[in-house]
């Protein structure tokens, strides 16, 4: 059953004749996404500090935005490195500003948002390269940033969830940086797009089959990359020894089945995982607290799990 508020939102978008993302150029799609947030997102909460930074990356400087939570002006705090969603094509620091503020305040941690390079200007694996470089830079610069590198989490929604999952695997393999938690919000985990939910939810629920193809083709320029675990983390060979995770999905989302499969693979490998599906919601709902009440529930859940996971340097505070 689709949530009545989600149904009303979809009906309103149709009544207003808003163009589908896949019909727009990347530049126009980015602008539309930035403008749409003013209607669907709640008011941005105040935090103690917002600071724009740059990390050193293999393709040039990577813009970052640091959020220090309200009441967190002094002392060293744990940190969440956050990667925004948008199909590796749209989205930026501004589209996810409110969510990052909410997570910082709710979890009592510093949040550092990463403005990674996107397609079609920068194809796979540029986003991965930036995500890894930014995470490692934050770990190296922890003292200057006032964060605790031993309590570092990664997270993201949709394409950002994909990047967070890949960073967690790459960091485990490299032994750097130590990551204690991963927050994966309706993550894209399989570029092959063959799960049953792609057909079941591929029309009528905002993120369509055509839009998924649009995003994929702006990011991936060689079909062989679909089989690379850095693009499709579900295809990684080894899931053992990964950080504890919270995986959130939406029931009316083409990505729901691959998100559930990813949580299952993590669990089967012996990792601590909580999996929660908001059965009545659509893709992208967590940033839509201005029109969807369940967005606040989801943000609150993320904040609670982050706070628990980051309470101890070894992640042992996370209990399931």
**What does the DSSP 8-state code read for residue 42?**
P
What tokens appear for 274 in the block? 């909580």
| Cα gap 289→293, rounded to integer Å | 6
**C-alpha angle 48-311-72 in degrees, rounded to nearest 5:** 10
Question: Can you list the alpha helix ranges (DSSP code H) found in 175-235?
Answer: 196-200, 209-219
| Cα gap 277→48, rounded to integer Å | 32
**First and final C-alpha spacing in the chain:** 28
Q: Which residues are catalytic?
A: 158, 253, 283
CB of 306 closer than 8 Å to CB of 183: yes
Q: What DSSP element (H or E) covers 270?
A: none
Write down the number of H helices and E strands in the chain.
Answer: 10, 8
Question: Which residues face 252 on adjacent strands?
Answer: 282
Residue 288: which of 24, 50, 10, 51 has the closest Cα?
10
CB of 203 closer than 8 Å to CB of 209: yes
Count of CB atoms situated within 10 Å of the CB of 238: 11
| Cα gap 1→12, rounded to integer Å | 18
CA distances from 205 to 6, 195, 202 (A): 9, 16, 7
């Amino acid at each position: 059953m689709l949530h009545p508020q989600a149904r009303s939102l979809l009906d309103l978008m149709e009544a207003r004749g808003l163009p589908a993302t896949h019909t727009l150029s990347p530049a126009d799609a980015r602008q539309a996404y930035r403008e749409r947030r003013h209607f669907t997102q709640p008011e941005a909460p105040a935090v103690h500090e917002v600071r724009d930074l740059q990390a050193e990356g293999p393709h040039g400087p990577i813009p970052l935005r640091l959020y220090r939570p309200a009441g967190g002006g002094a002392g060293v705090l744990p940190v969440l490195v956050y990667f925004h969603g948008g199909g590796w094509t749209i989205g930026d620091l501004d589209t996810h500003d409110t969510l990052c503020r909410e997570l910082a305040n709710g979890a009592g941690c510093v949040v550092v948002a990463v403005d990674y390079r996107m397609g079609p200007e920068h194809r796979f694996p540029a986003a991965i390269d930036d995500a890894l470089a930014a995470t490692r830079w934050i770990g190296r610069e922890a003292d200057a940033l006032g964060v605790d590198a031993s309590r570092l989490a990664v997270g993201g929604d949709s394409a950002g969830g994909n990047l967070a999952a890949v960073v967690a695997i790459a960091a485990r393999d490299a032994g750097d940086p130590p990551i204690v938690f991963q927050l994966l919000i309706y993550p894209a985990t399989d570029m092959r797009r063959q799960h049953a939910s792609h057909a079941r939810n591929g029309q009528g629920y905002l993120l369509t089959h055509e839009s998924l193809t649009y995003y994929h083709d702006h990011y991936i320029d060689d079909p062989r990359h679909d089989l690379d675990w850095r693009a499709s983390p579900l295809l990684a060979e080894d899931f053992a020894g990964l950080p504890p995770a919270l995986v959130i999905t939406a029931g009316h989302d083409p990505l729901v089945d691959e998100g559930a499969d990813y949580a299952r693979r993590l669990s089967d490998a012996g990792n601590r995982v909580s999996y929660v599906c908001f059965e009545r919601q659509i893709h992208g709902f967590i940033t839509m607290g201005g029109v969807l009440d369940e967005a606040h529930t989801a943000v609150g859940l993320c904040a609670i799990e982050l706070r628990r996971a980051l309470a101890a340097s070894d992640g042992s505070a996370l209990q399931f």
